[in-house]
């Protein structure tokens, strides 16, 4: 058993305290954490679910593109951030544990350590409120 990278440890501590939903994935494409804000939004329980491969996420949240077309796991922002090592800003649809559709905006970023090591990826996401469009200068 090896300890997680310190960046992931610190991020988990931070994310656990933030009111913004967030998910953490390691370089092996394992979902290693989602925070209480995510639990509240999606009706999930981290302790019950535990670490799972990223490929499991579609079964949990049934992601769709913003036009409601299919979204495979490799199209998910977290996966794209990992594979392309580029941040991703996305509008998409996910479903909570009750099957309710939620339109969300997400930013997924690859987590590169200062030594150039790919540590994983992190996404923040929030429900898109159509009455308040994000500012896009």
Partner 1 sequence: MSGPPIELLLLKQVSGYLAMPVFLVDEDGGLEYYNEPAEELLGLRYEETGQIPLEVWGKLWAPTDAEGRQLAPDELPVAVAVRERRPVLGEVSIRRPDGSHRQITITALPFEAADGTQLGAFALFWES
Partner 2 sequence: MKVTFWGTRGSLPSPRPGTTRYGGNTSCVEVRTSDGSVLLLDAGSGIHRLADFGPGVTRVDVLLTHLHMDHIIGLGFFGALFQPELEVHIWGPPSATLELRARLSRYLSPPLFPVRLTDLPCKLMLHDAPRGTFDLPGASVTADLVCHPGPTLGYRLEADGATLTYIPDHEPALGDTGFLSSKEWTSGFSLMTGADLLIHDSQYTDEEYPSHVGWGHSTISQTMGLAEAAGVGTLAPFHHDPGHNDVLLDRLFSTALESGDWSFEFSPAREGTTLTLGRHATVRS
Where on the chain is the footprint of partner 2 (CB under 8 A)? Answer: 1-7, 9-10, 12-14, 17, 112-117
Residue 46 near residue 40, CB atoms below 8 Å: no
Decide if residue 99 touches partner 1 (CB under 8 A): no
What are the phi and psi torsion angles at 136 (to 5°)? -130, 85
Q: Which does 87 bind (CB under 5 to 8 A by kind): partner 1, partner 2, none?
A: partner 1
105 binds partner 1 per the rule CB under 8 A: yes
Separation CA 96–CA 44 (nearest Å): 8
Angstrom distance (rounded) from CA 72 to CA 74 = 5
Q: Nearest distance from residue 45's CB to partner 2, in Å?
A: 17
Quick note: the x/- pattern for partner 1 over 47-86, rule CB under 8 A, is: ---------------------------------------x
Contact between 98 and partner 1 (CB under 8 A)? no
**DSSP code of 70?**
B
Shortest Å, Cβ 43 to partner 1:
21
Measured CA to CA, the distance from residue 43 to residue 96 in angstroms comes to 6
- Angstrom distance (rounded) from CA 12 to CA 22: 10
**CA separation for the pair 16, 118 (Å, rounded):** 22
Both structure tokens of 1: 């058993």
Closest approach of Cβ 7 to partner 2, in Å? Answer: 7
Residues that bind partner 1 (CB under 8 A): 6-7, 10-11, 13-14, 17-20, 86-87, 89, 105, 107, 109-114, 116, 124, 126, 132, 134-137
């Amino acid at each position: 058993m090896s300890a997680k990278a310190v960046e992931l440890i610190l991020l988990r501590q931070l994310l656990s305290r933030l009111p913004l939903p967030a998910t953490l994935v390691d370089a092996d494409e394992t979902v290693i954490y989602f925070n209480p804000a995510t639990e509240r939004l999606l009706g999930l329980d981290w302790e019950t679910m535990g670490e799972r491969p990223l490929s499991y996420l579609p079964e949990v949240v049934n992601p769709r593109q913003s036009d409601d077309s299919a979204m495979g796991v490799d199209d998910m922002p977290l996966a794209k951030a990992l594979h392309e090592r580029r941040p991703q800003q996305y509008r998409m649809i996910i479903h909570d544990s009750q099957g309710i559709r939620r339109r969300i905006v997400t930013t997924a970023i690859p987590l590169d350590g200062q030594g150039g090591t790919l540590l994983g990826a992190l996404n923040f996401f929030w429900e898109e409120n159509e009455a308040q469009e994000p500012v896009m200068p």
